[in-house]
Chain A
Amino acid sequence: MHPAIRVVLLTLIGLFFLFPIVWVFLMSFQTNETILRIPPSLVFEPTLQNYTALISGRLETGAGVLELAFMQNLWNSFVLSFCSVALSLLLGVPAAYAFARFKFFGSEDIAFTLLSFRFAPALLVLLPLNLYFQDIGLNDTYIGLIWVYQLITLPLILWIVRGYFEDISPDIENAYRVDGHSWFSTFMKISIPLALPGIAAAALLSFIFAWNNFVFALILASADKQPVTVGALAFVTASGIQYGQIAAAVVLSILPTLALALYAQRYLVEGLSLGAVKG
């Protein structure tokens, strides 16, 4: 292919995929007046007022001051994602080890069932839960949501980490065992450190997926437990035409995952394919 065609194609592709991010980022530093200006212009006086309004939780709208807890949404996203991943690691890493090292009765079926949760329609589980949660007292609690978030984070961690454990030669573990160490100390001192890159990759990716989840909290969380994905949408309805603030809310909700992704880029390929493709 002619190099010039390649450059043109890549420029167009880059524009399509990156322009929306850049444009919304620019919008978040504009007042509503500059946003509504026709024709749109790249020249404007940047303002931080959208961000200060979001951070203080007080939005100046045409109809007066509106109290909005967007920072609470951000905090909820963080709590839900962080705790879900932590719980999944606690549950998933030992299970991943068991599936990697031992063939036991039903092991493949169990592993498959756990993975199939990743692919089942979320509403199938969420709608009955919506009717239950009140009865079992999990309505509007972090614990209830974190438990359901295991549907996202646990299969991912289990299957990626399992692959890493399978790649470690059991001979290394056995050699340490022969020295008289217990199974547990072998697991903690040998197996986990050797699989650590995989565990880190799985944790980062499942954090991103948990953060980006929308439908779980839409159905199970009330306003004060909602993460940014649901909060941002509710915010659009509430703030109406405060477009600069909507853009700022979008930027604040996507920055954490974009930053994590850039930080963890070398693990992304392996994680996205659940460990089937080496990056």
Chain B
Amino acid sequence: MATVAEGVRKPPRRSFGESALPYLLSLPALLVCIGILVPFVTAVWYSLQRYNLAMPYLKGFIWFENYKILFTDTVFWHTVWVSLLYTVLTVGIELVLGLTIAMLLQRSSAFNNAMSIALMLPLMIAPAIAALMWKLMTNPNFGIFSYLLSLVGVTDFRWGSSPSSALFTVVLVDVWVYTPFMMVLLLAGLRGLPRQPFEAAELDGVPWTFVFFRITLPMLFPYILTAGLFRMLDAIQQFDIIYAMTQGGPGDTLMVFQVQAYLEFFTYTNVGRSAAILMVLWAITYFLSHQFIKYWLRLRERARGVA
């Protein structure tokens, strides 16, 4: 039954209606979400079936056959590899770049604050639309970036349409959209750090490398970890940017988890295999989201303490 949270004085009177109150308040939200759990359970079920929309007569329960086929298939391992590569590259670059910008803007001044707001704008653009913008700018006929490259003598760089540069191109768009996220969180973190250690270091004339690696980084670590995990959760599932840019191509160059699952479903109508791919992705995100929420809760406790 409902008990009152720690530190809360007992309200004056408590009737049956009042002890049922928390359930009544959260029930509608819960019901809406349970409706969403149904397709999730269905997906688990599909992943254990031979189920191809083109061949419904073959439908049948096959235990873990879909997974067995996946794990022995080089196509699947390619998907895993590309997804991990994409995640590591984007999150890594965004962390370094975001931290650099945050440190440049650390001192609170009118210019720095205006700059940090302006830099936030790409984050407010839909990733699919952002990919479209970059497509316009990297078009071989009139794209401004293609033109700028031709000025320095590079004429055969084909951005998203060549297997050798497609990954670079989508990572670039991801970095453009999401670096502001890192910047915003790390900037808030930096500005919230206590002053004394930095003042003491300055008085002692400690070199800046020491200050950065021994004071700034360790103190900022909870923020870096939380922001990094948050971005990893999104990056490993990236769909919008890659789909809008190349639809996973050229060839199978950018077949990340969700794009691969999408094509399995709609192009090859292989529902069972598509569901199995998504279950593997779900297992990864479930683990990551537990980690994220753990560190997120710690960070929030800290924010409470400061506030």
- What are the residues of chain B within 8 A of A18 when measuring CB–CB? 118-119, 121
- What are the residues of chain A within 8 A of B237 when measuring CB–CB? 121-122
**Is the Cβ of A250 less than 8 Å from the Cβ of B33?**
no
Interface assignment of B209: CB less than 8 Å from any CB of chain A: no
- Give A36's nearest chain B residue, CB to CB: B142
CB distance from B303 to the nearest CB of A (A): 5
**Is the Cβ of B278 less than 8 Å from the Cβ of A124?**
yes
**Is the Cβ of B126 less than 8 Å from the Cβ of A257?**
yes
**Is the Cβ of B184 less than 8 Å from the Cβ of A278?**
no
For chain B, give the interface size range: 35 or more
- What are the residues of chain B within 8 A of A103 when measuring CB–CB? 2-6
Interface of A, helix, strand, loop or mixed by DSSP: helix
**Is the Cβ of B136 less than 8 Å from the Cβ of A6?**
no
Binary interface encoding of chain A residues 114-130 relative to chain B, with 1 for a CB under 8 A from any of its CBs, else 0: 11110111111111111
**Is the Cβ of A272 less than 8 Å from the Cβ of B137?**
no
Count A interface residues, CB 8 Å: 103
Stretch at the interface among B40-48, B85-93, B163-171: B40-48
CB distance from B201 to the nearest CB of A (A): 16
- What are the residues of chain B within 8 A of A218 when measuring CB–CB? 243
Selected A-B contacts with CB under 8 Å, 27 pairs? A9-B104, A13-B104, A17-B122, A17-B179, A20-B137, A97-B25, A98-B23, A98-B25, A101-B8, A114-B29, A115-B293, A120-B40, A120-B289, A123-B261, A124-B279, A124-B281, A127-B274, A129-B39, A148-B36, A212-B127, A218-B243, A229-B128, A243-B142, A261-B121, A261-B124, A276-B299, A278-B188
Residues of A within 8 A of B (CB): 6, 9-10, 13-14, 16-18, 20-21, 23-24, 27, 35-40, 90-92, 94-95, 97-99, 101-105, 107, 110, 112-117, 119-132, 147-148, 150-151, 154, 158, 163, 167, 170-171, 174, 177-178, 183, 208, 211-215, 218, 228-230, 232-233, 236, 243, 246-247, 250, 253-254, 257-258, 260-262, 265, 268-269, 272-279
